[in-house]
Structure 1
Amino acid sequence: QELTAYLATSNSIILNWTTGSEINNSHFTILRSSNSTDWDSIGVVKSKFINGNGAGTSYSFTDNLFSSSINYYRLKQVDLDGTISLGNIVSVQVSNLQQRLKLFPNPTKGTINIQNAKIGASYRIISLDGKLITSGIVRNQTQSVDITNVSSGVYFCEIIDISNQKHLLKFIKE
């Protein structure tokens, strides 16, 4: 299994992996480390196949409790007979800006506030299907964006800081 990981929002890292095939697979234990040496178990994902055997499939796990600026992940695959195999190590770096960025209120009825983005950064409100709703430049410590006329649904606020790093925050418009 090949593990991939990415920062989905300022408070969630999503891990994805696929299997080519599964033979006697019981489950996957998700391991996390702040130094790639000392590992903690943070969750278990059971095989999607009742008897542990089947064609390849995809899995996902969301980590909402990470704390350090760099997080390492790996999978421990456990067979029904207890045999263990360890997967590749992946890392996700969380910038200090990403940890401080806030979007509120969420859910919102008409105005969304972007807090702690650097003045001069740009923002874009994007629908789930990738359509640009509105965009602008951050001019205040708390930048208000009027979305009163936007339909109800789930949206992303993409913030592009002055060093061209992109940060994606999800919100709900009621």
Structure 2
Amino acid sequence: MKNYKLIICLFLLLGSALAKAQATYDFQVAAVSPEPFSVAVGEEGQIFIDVGYLGDAPVPIGGIRVQLSISGEIEIPLPVNFSDNGCYLSGSIWAVTYIAYINGNTEVVLKNMVGVMNDGVSCSMTIPFIGKSVSCEDCGAISCNASFTDEAIGIGDTNGNNNSATALFTVTAPLPIKLGEFNAKVDDCSSVNVTWNTYSEENFDRAEVQKSVDGRNFVTIGSVKTKGNGASVNNSYVFTDNTPLVSGTVYYRLKAIDLDNSISYSRVATAIVKCDNAIDMNIYPNPTHGEANVTFSGFKTNNMREMLLLNVKGDVVKNFKMDPLSNNNLNISELPSGVYYLKLVDESIVLQKKFIKVN
């Protein structure tokens, strides 16, 4: 009888050990991205951090450490105006626990000090920054690394391939103009008016108005000549964007061109488009484990549209066509977890949506 009980105990212990060995504790850094990816010295932007967790047990308070290492071309203003934009199916759980400037770079540590991290949860956070010194193109870097802390008792990372991410950025020279207000506003759900004024224009030729749907990839949609150079001016400008309205946030900036053809870029202005007639795309569920539905609105004809699937670096992973008047299936089950962008490319329309793939 004693041997029988001993065998049962050994069996239970072995079963418990196997269950622990097969448990999943996968914290993922889906993406880190500055918006915009290019700023002038003195101009402002934000760093977006997207993370997620799949696990057989919640991670306790203080159990996750997310560390940002930011090169010295941008700086984080103090005190840190950190924003926890909330977690899917949860609330705000993150806080800045450490910031230091080391050898010209900035180190920032975030921890889930406000709440536990539950299974299937994704979170988004932002930290503002300011352009500090000129860099070559894509020479600035932000790296993000995550790990479980000693507070996560009994939890160890079961997938070490997705707990880091890196993004590049550019800081350009200051503008040749002293820019006052710079705004973009939807006008009666038919167009977007981009307006700005200047208080100084020296050796300045023109401003190209550029537009983006992701805050990174800008295209020129028009050009406006200077109204007159001078150390002290008061010039006002208006440019109307008559391209089809795309639902969501649209980004605008000025590409300032001097008389000697040197180039610099303004800060970014945004317009929030919420119009019934606006073109839009919806991806659900988001996050997805491999298959998602894609629907469109605002299109009048069912002409097949060219689609690009991009990874977080902007590389094209797939290209295919979709019908804007139908419910389309998107299968990415073979791709690794992370942040992806689905982009519609047309002669007059650029539409892009972000979604997260989790394994």
TM-score, length basis structure 2: 0.26
The aligned counterpart of 1:94 is 273
Name segments (4+ residues, structure 1) moved above 3 Å. none
Aligned length: 98
Can you list the C-alpha shifts for 1:53-89, whole angstroms capped at 9, x where unaligned? 4623111100010442121000111110112121111
State the alpha-carbon separation in 2 of the partners of residues 83 and 42 from structure 1. Answer: 19
The aligned counterpart of 1:14 is 193
1:76 to 247, 251, 255: 255
- Identity percentage of aligned residues: 33
Q: How does 1:1-174 map to 2 (within 5 A)?
A: 1=179, 2-49=181-228, 52-53=229-230, 55-69=233-247, 70-97=249-276, 99=278
Unpaired stretches in structure 2, ≥5 consecutive residues: 1-178, 280-359
Structure with larger RCO (C-alpha < 8 A, sep 6+): 1
Equivalent residue letter for 1:57: N
The aligned counterpart of 2:170 is none
State the alpha-carbon separation in 2 of the partners of residues 92 and 45 from structure 1. Answer: 20
TM-score, length basis structure 1: 0.52
State the alpha-carbon separation in 1 of the partners of residues 263 and 224 from structure 2. Answer: 14
Unpaired stretches in structure 1, ≥5 consecutive residues: 101-174
Can you list the C-alpha shifts for 1:16-56, whole angstroms capped at 9, x where unaligned? 1011111111000000000001000000000012xx44623
RMSD, aligned CA: 1.8
Equivalent residue letter for 1:62: T
Larger radius of gyration: 2
Equivalent residue letter for 2:233: A
State the alpha-carbon separation in 2 of the partners of residues 34 and 66 from structure 1. Answer: 13
State the alpha-carbon separation in 2 of the partners of residues 66 and 48 from structure 1. Answer: 29
Equivalent residue letter for 1:13: V
